[in-house]
Amino acid sequence: MSNWIEALKKEIPEGQIMTELADRYSYSFDASFGEYLPDVVVQAKNKQEVVYIVKVANQFGIPIYPRGQGTCLSGGPLPVYGGMVLDLSQWPEQITLNVEDLTINVSPSVLTARINEEAEKHGLMYAPDPSSAHVATIGGNLAENSGGPRGLKYGVTKDFVIGLELVTPEGEVIRTGGQTIKNVTGFDLTKLIVGSEGTLGVITEATLKLIPKPPAVQTIMVEFDHVRTAGQAISRTLTSGILPSKMEFMDQACIQAVENFKPSGLPVDAKAIVIIELDGHPQTLDVETKLVQNIMSSIGATNLIIPKTKEEADKIWHARKQVSPAIAKIKPTKVSEDATVPRSKIPEMMDRLHDIKNKYNVEVVVFGHAGDGNLHPNILCDKRDQEEMGRVEQAVEEVFQAAIDLGGTLSGEHGIGTMKAPFMEKELGEVGLDMMKRIKDSWDPNGIMNPGKIFPEKGQKLVLTDE
């Protein structure tokens, strides 16, 4: 057995160190593409254990790959260079709500949905609502800066984090930010760490901001006979003075996939639907609902449905949540993207995706948080089919290029991880990427924190085929 595993055993309870192949295999993948076997899996249940593990990793030069529930869509927790997966999901749940401060302190293992549950008990809301909220940990959300439908009005994970406790890549404990809403004391390390995909340390606690829960919500589902019209409807709504809490898009392929998977009453003949949620006082919702109706009718929507009960509305949102599992049933492999464009460019991006689909003869379905320009084109394929995967690789590259051409970005909410690393320089330029790398190197001189992510290797290319 390796010296470093022996070193781990000195301080970490035996039951938290796994070296059996079956265990290691369970930690070799996430919800993205690719499998990498770690040498060992270590579970940490408190800060002191994390400090010890990180110090051992530095001493022996072993990569550490922090992991929550492994729902990442960009390969964040994948142990691409072996070493150890640091499993934080078994950390005992700690949640402390400070009602008068409108803040909540959480341990990394807390499931994201739990935070909002606690907040709602006091009329408060934790706004970020990634689709995986019921199965993903807040630690993973922090590492990846997760988004979600409500991001349109309220912002993403980062916008709700005011303080962190972090074990640095050298095993020191620091606190960033604090318990106050406003803080300009030095560099904003909090917002640097959130979204750094576990490359700058291990988050061991977070202080999150809460807001008053809006007293009411109103769902509206709008149907279109052209994808482009749906795109225009989004722009028109957002420049009308209304800021909906959610504005979700599904194309016909998604609608049909959901109806085949679990019939939910979605309109299978529509070319696209946009599902809107307004929130606020009931009186305001009446006014805004009428305004949305006027906009949609003037722009040529084919139908508009206003659910009469909470159950009807929930059914629509449940159908929206079924998109990912539903499309995963169509073909064995799903390559999920989250290229994001300025809002005005949504119709053009829709056109580009249509062209890419035809050019490479690949199956592309599109849904997403269209209100903030964050689309999720998904390519459905079979990773055992090398020829098809070659076409998928080219299609993915062209999706990224389209986003960048339209003034957009490689990733709106899933992160860079392994798959998008080769395209970083295209978006950031050589110097832009170098400035990020300088931070990484200055914080992690031994390069042990989640190596192989964000920063491309020399000459690294997108590879979706098995070697």
Q: Would you say 4 or 126 has its CB closer to its own copies? A: 126
Q: Would you say 238 or 305 has its CB closer to its own copies? A: 238
How big is the chain by its Cα radius of gyration, in Å?
A: 22
Give least dist CB 219 to its own copies, A. Answer: 19
Q: Would you say 457 or 466 has its CB closer to its own copies? A: 457
Q: Would you say 6 or 188 has its CB closer to its own copies? A: 188
Give least dist CB 355 to its own copies, A. Answer: 21
Q: Cβ-count burial of 36 within 10 angstroms (0-12 exposed, 13-18 middle, 19+ buried)?
A: buried
Give least dist CB 59 to its own copies, A. Answer: 18
> Which residues does residue 340 pair with via DSSP β-bridges, in sequence order?
374, 409
Q: Would you say 66 or 412 has its CB closer to its own copies? A: 412
> Which residues does residue 326 pair with via DSSP β-bridges, in sequence order?
none
271, 310, 128, 289: which is closest to 220 by C-alpha? 289
Q: How far apart are CA 184 and CA 423, in angstroms?
A: 33
Give least dist CB 156 to its own copies, A. Answer: 6
Question: Residue 420 is inside which H or E element, if any?
Answer: none
Q: Are 368 and 375 in contact (CB under 8 A)?
A: yes
Query: If DSSP codes are grouped into helix, strand and coil, which group holds residue 224?
Result: strand
Q: Are 104 and 207 in contact (CB under 8 A)?
A: yes
Cα 303 to Cα 49, 224, 254, 286, 293: the distances in Å are 57, 7, 18, 19, 10
Query: If DSSP codes are grouped into helix, strand and coil, which group holds residue 164?
Result: strand
Extract the tokens encoding 104.
């909540």
Q: How far apart are CA 55 and CA 244, in angstroms?
A: 47
Q: Would you say 143 or 253 has its CB closer to its own copies? A: 143
Q: Would you say 16 or 168 has its CB closer to its own copies? A: 168
Which residue matches tokens 């994390």? 50
DSSP characters for 132-174?
TTTTSBHHHHHHHT---TTHHHH--GGGGEEEEEEE-TTS-EE
Q: Would you say 21 or 181 has its CB closer to its own copies? A: 181
Q: Would you say 28 or 229 has its CB closer to its own copies? A: 229
Give least dist CB 175 to its own copies, A. Answer: 7
Contacts of 382 (CB under 8 A, 6+ apart): 331, 332, 333, 388, 389
User: What's 366's DSSP letter?
Assistant: E
Q: Would you say 352 or 369 has its CB closer to its own copies? A: 369
2, 4, 144, 15: which is closest to 87 by C-alpha? 15
Q: How far apart are CA 410 and CA 172, in angstroms?
A: 33
